[in-house]
Amino acid sequence: MHRGSCFSERLGSLPTVACLLAVAAVSAGCSTAPGPDPLEAANRKVFAFNEGVDKVVLKPAAKAYQAVVPTVAQTGITNFFSNLQQPWTSVNLLVQGEPKASLGALARFGTNTTVGVLGLMDPASGWGMRGRSEDFGLTLDTWGVGSGSYLVLPLFGASNLRDALASPVDSLGSASSHIASASARNTLTVTHLLSKRSQHLGAGELVDQMALDKYAMVRDMHLKRRNRGRGAEELRPQQPLQDQP
């Protein structure tokens, strides 16, 4: 998807996004799969591919990032990217019917951008402004749009039909997508990726040691995190009826 800064070009993509979201809603609503992962065979192959890329590229790069970048700078980078998400979080909270929380996200963004020096510090948390991260996939979930099939996307990892088709809308709301310079956008993307991966190094190694089936564990954790409203009903396994006393 083109990520230039031209606003008219972004508006031109909205009809396509609307069509995609319509397909997502219909597909999720019409899903008759008995469980959350009808594409498991294909998903496991993509998962194995992603694990290979992570082992060869991402994990070593994240370890190098962790070793080279001072801890205080890592914290600042994490805060910076978290702060960039707040305006889009505010928009999603508003359309989810939470105007107070939406204003809170804007207040947090304003506080950390100014007092926190472009978001590198996080004084807002100390002042009781709780951070949240919302996207359009979670907004659709709040509206009752089912998730559809669980998907493992190449390189991007765990997802589902609803979130995959909502991603163009999230791209429009991404702060980095409005940066005109391609090199600056790429630098931000790589830095964000390394920052996120480095934060999960310890947890990832623990999962590797503990999980008998890492694929299933990652899937179940993702489904629980991404489906919290009415859209989560289809993901609850059907339990056999028990005899009543």
* Separation between Cα atoms, residue 66 and residue 194, nearest integer Å: 9
pLDDT of residue 107: 97
Token pair 């948390």: residue: 125
**Cα 152 off chain centre by:** 13
Domain ranges of the chain: 40-231
Q: Residue 177's closest CA among 164, 192, 163?
A: 192
pLDDT computed for residue 211 by the predictor: 72
Q: Print burial letters for 26-39: b (CB count within 10 Å at least 16), e (below 16).
A: ebbeebeeeebbee
The pairing of beta strand 150-153 with beta strand 157-160 = antiparallel
Which amino acid is residue 175, in one-letter code?
A
Tokens of residue 159, six digits: 């997802």
Q: What is the pLDDT of residues 164-191, one digit of tens each?
A: 999 999 998 888 888 888 999 999 999 9
User: In angstroms, rounded to a whole number, what is the distance separating the alpha carbons of residues 173 and 11?
Assistant: 12
Q: In this model, does residue 226 exceed pLDDT 60?
A: yes
SS3 category, 45: helix
Tell me, what's the pLDDT at 175?
84
Contact at 8 Å (CB) between 158 and 222? yes
**What is the predicted pLDDT for the residue at 51?**
96
Other CB atoms within 10 Å distance of the CB of residue 160? 28
How crowded is the C-beta side of 118, counted as CA atoms within 13 Å? 2
pLDDT in tens, 90-148: 999 999 999 999 999 999 999 999 999 999 999 999 999 999 999 999 999 999 999 89
Other C-beta atoms lying within 10 Å of the C-beta of residue 167: 20
Report the pLDDT value the prediction gives residue 235, as an integer from 0 to 100.
Answer: 43
* pTM, entire model: 0.76
- DSSP letter (8 states) at residue 85: T
Residue 156 amino acid letter: F
**Total residues belonging to the chain:** 245
Inform me whether the pLDDT recorded for 31 exceeds 70: no
Which residues fall within 8 angstroms of residue 163, CB to CB, at 6 or more apart?
135, 137, 147, 226
Average pLDDT of span 50-74: 96
Please tell me which residue, 25 or 229, carries the higher pLDDT value: 229
